[in-house]
Amino acid sequence: GAVVSQHPSWVICKSGTSVKIECRSLDFQATTMFWYRQFPKQSLMLMATSNEGSKATYEQGVEKDKFLINHASLTLSTLTVTSAHPEDSSFYICSAKLPLAGGPQETQYFGPGTRLLVL
Amino acid sequence: GQNIDQPTEMTATEGAIVQINCTYQTSGFNGLFWYQQHAGEAPTFLSYNVLDGLEEKGRFSSFLSRSKGYSYLLLKELQMKDSASYLCAVMNSNYQLIWGAGTKLIIKP
């Protein structure tokens, strides 16, 4: 079953408005979550690493003042797209680290994603 | 730099076998992952290899050769529902996942 949820799954908004996307880990605590963006027919692009109780680490080229990340609890990280514009329209996906069963390593489990359309 | 290479697109026939290759160059290695992503959906975890050799999981198998920086995902008895993109990702020495661009697999009847 799903271990990471995202809300909302679809957002349509007007240019200039802000949109908040929630990512929740279900039945486990996630000290680290990741936010990705994916444009049509392109690969995942890591935007930022969200760490519970501290500031997010942004990848090069990602504006931290435009994409606000808050990881206030061990089960919730939020991404707020501020003053959204049509070029921000994309598929936003979060993931959380979870240990692999039977091994010491971890992998990332993804939420179902949020489609954002900015008009 | 770090990079992951995999073919952009492959086509196979229902019931057949297909092998999707992945080569990588990363700063350190802590495992290689394969994910499946259906159109319009988020990726789902398929397999993990950290030691050389073949890991089999039902119709899917994944192989790793660390000395060659090479992996493949083998899909047997292909079904139409296997049509998806397959993403190869390597965890480097900083425990960051480096992602390939994905291979779009098209299954024909």
Q: Name the more confident of A76 and A104.
A: A76
* Contact between chains at A109 and B45 (C-beta distance less than 8 A): yes
| Contact in structure between B45 and B37 (CB atoms under 8 Å) | no
- Encoded amino acid at A78, one letter: T
CA-based nearest distance A30→chain B, Å: 16
Weakest-pLDDT range from A105-109, B57-61, B84-88: A105-109
Mean pLDDT of B30-54: 92
* Contact between chains at B101 and A108 (C-beta distance less than 8 A): no
Interface contact B100, partner A, CB < 8 A:
yes
A112 CB neighbours in chain B (<8 A) are 41-42
Mutate to test the interface with B, among A41, A42, A43 (most CBs of B within 10 A): A43
CA-to-CA distance for B46 and B71, rounded, in angstroms?
A: 14
CA-to-CA distance for B49 and B5, rounded, in angstroms?
A: 17
Mean pLDDT of chain A: 89
pLDDT of residue A103: 55
Q: Is the pLDDT of residue B1 over 90?
A: no
Chain B, nearest residue to A45 by Cα: B99
Q: Name the more confident of A100 and A77.
A: A77
Structure-token pair, residue B17: 């076998």
pLDDT bucket at A2, cuts 50 / 70 / 90: low
| Contact in structure between A33 and A46 (CB atoms under 8 Å) | no
Q: Name the more confident of A103 and A60.
A: A60
CA-to-CA distance for A19 and A58, rounded, in angstroms?
A: 19
| Contact in structure between B98 and B2 (CB atoms under 8 Å) | yes
A110 CB neighbours in chain B (<8 A) are 42-44
Structure-token pair, residue A95: 């993931």
